[in-house]
Amino acid sequence: MSSQTTSLRATVPTPQPPCQLRNFIGGQAVDGVRTFTKVNPVDGSPIAEVHEAGRHEVDRAVAAARAALDGPWGRMSVTERATMLRCIADAIERRTDDLVAAEVGDTGKPETLARDLDVARAAANFRAFADIVSAAGLDSFLTELPDGRRALNYAVRKPLGVVAVIVPWNLPLLLLTWKLAPALATGNTVVVKPSEETPSSATLLAEILVEAGLPVGVVNVVHGFGADSAGELLTTHPGIDGVTFTGESSTGSAIMRAVAPRVRPVSFELGGKNAAVVFADADLDTAIAGLARSTYLNTGQVCLCTERIYVERSIFADVADGLAEQAARLRLGRPENPATTTGPLISPQHREKVLGYFELAREEGATVLAGGGVPTLGDGLDAGSWIEPTLWTGLDNSHRVVREEIFGPVAALIPFDTEEEAIALANDTDYGLAAVTWTSDLTRGHRVAQRMRVGMSWVNTWYLRDLRSPFGGVGLSGIGREGGHHSLEFYTEPTNVCVQL
């Protein structure tokens, strides 16, 4: 019995303490003023103790970035920086498995999604901006004045300086690299503040950058929260030359107030309450599959996801039935299971917010066609932040759940009768990030897409975009554009040089 007991105990894994995620400043891991626990949204288990940066750590990070900006990095040529970006892309691909594990641990999303979307796009972002900055040009003019003088005017790009990069928790690695790649391509240095919900991939990426040869201090990472923490300390810091942020509209407003006294530039991609319009002549199978993807991808936690679906009345029942069937087919489960299509929400707090809207929808008279609650999954998952993919009818634009961003796997189906009505309904929002038009009439598709009051307007597709095209929103959905030369414009200060000939 004694030997059997010993053998049995040997097969039981010893619980491992959560890993330590420290700040990354000047190429070194740095303790914070305190730690907080990051839990896995899949099952509620602790996965990391995260070191929160205080004022001293933020000061160190900004100073390290300033020193790197004034050092050899600030004197590198465009060609040298583009080569560095391609080396970083190669290093990301070599560490794909580690980055997938970091993303999955923080977010609970399926491994296949993290691998095929988040990590693949991270590498692609660096390669894209290596090409974009290499091909970028600026104005030049040969001028002859009435008095006979001649002059050559030409512009050169200078780095904006030390940039605060604040990224959200839904696509943490993808959106970090979407900002980091153009910032580095144009010669800036950076202090990153990842979301407190997703600290792992930013910490790992900082290490990968140094391994790839990026000089220390060019990229620094400070952990913490927003108000009264690293976020506020960073955005109010006098050593920061600009702020780029993706996240909630209310946080964007707070950052604008923080930078206003120093008149620092900002670039914001904020919330969305995105609309899709489905006309009766659309290919219904394609449209329903596209709607399911735009509503439920990443558990609806994408700023571009569709939460309002306007359907021509003659096909309303068909679209409602088809989309409800698509929602029922989604498979919630552990991220390593290849059959899993849908992960949990990011946290118990966010689930409570989304469930509050579920309850509000019922109070407002919604008919629930799919979901509407919390699933029972077993297998140790019920302590996670799971929620059912949900679909409503019976609502209109006057209801709060149709007007306010929910950021979960949910959409409201609303009928319309005419093209003009559909456009008016879609544009009846304080947000203006993205819209989708589903129709087989491409003349109508062009016409409707251009009338949408949004920054991105798709026709018969969703989440498809050339990385050189403008990305951003209007209204509560943001300020400025990212992508291609639009990103270069934010991260640089053009200087005109005039030479009399």
Which residues are tagged catalytic? Answer: 269, 303
Pairwise CA distance, residues 247 & 92, whole Å: 24
Pairwise CA distance, residues 261 & 252, whole Å: 16
Cβ within 8 Å of residue 273, ≥6 positions away: 307, 308, 402, 403, 404, 405, 429, 430, 431
- Sign (positive/negative) of CA torsion 450, 452, 458, 461? negative
Q: Under the phi-then-psi rule, with left for phi > 0, alpha for psi from -120 to 50, and beta for the rest, what region is 140? A: beta
Exposure b/e, 425-444, CB count within 10 A at least 16 = b: bbebbebbbbbbbbbeeeee
The count of residues in the chain is 501
Pairwise CA distance, residues 203 & 10, whole Å: 34
| 28-30 vs 189-193, strand pairing mode | unpaired
Pairwise CA distance, residues 318 & 316, whole Å: 6
Task: State which H helix or E strand residue 479 sits in.
Answer: strand 478-479
- In the block, which residue shows the tokens 């993706």? 246
Written as six digits, the tokens of 298 are 């990443």
Closest CA to 416 of 438, 441, 440: 438
> Which strands sit side by side in the sheet containing 150-159, from one edge to the other?
140-144, 150-159, 492-500
Please name the residue ranges forming H helices in 390-441. Answer: 400-403, 419-427
374 neighbors 406 (Cβ within 8 angstroms): no
273 neighbors 263 (Cβ within 8 angstroms): no
Pairwise CA distance, residues 426 & 448, whole Å: 10
Strands (E), 314-376: 367-370
Question: What is the 3-class SS of 294-317, one letter each residue?
Answer: HHHHHHHCCCCCEEEEEEEHHHHH
Please name the residue ranges forming H helices in 78-139. Answer: 78-94, 96-107, 111-113, 120-135
455 neighbors 271 (Cβ within 8 angstroms): no
Q: Name residue 46's beta-bridge partners.
A: 39
Cβ within 8 Å of residue 262, ≥6 positions away: 238
Q: What are phi and psi of 14, to 5 degrees?
A: -80, 125
Q: Name residue 20's beta-bridge partners.
A: 49
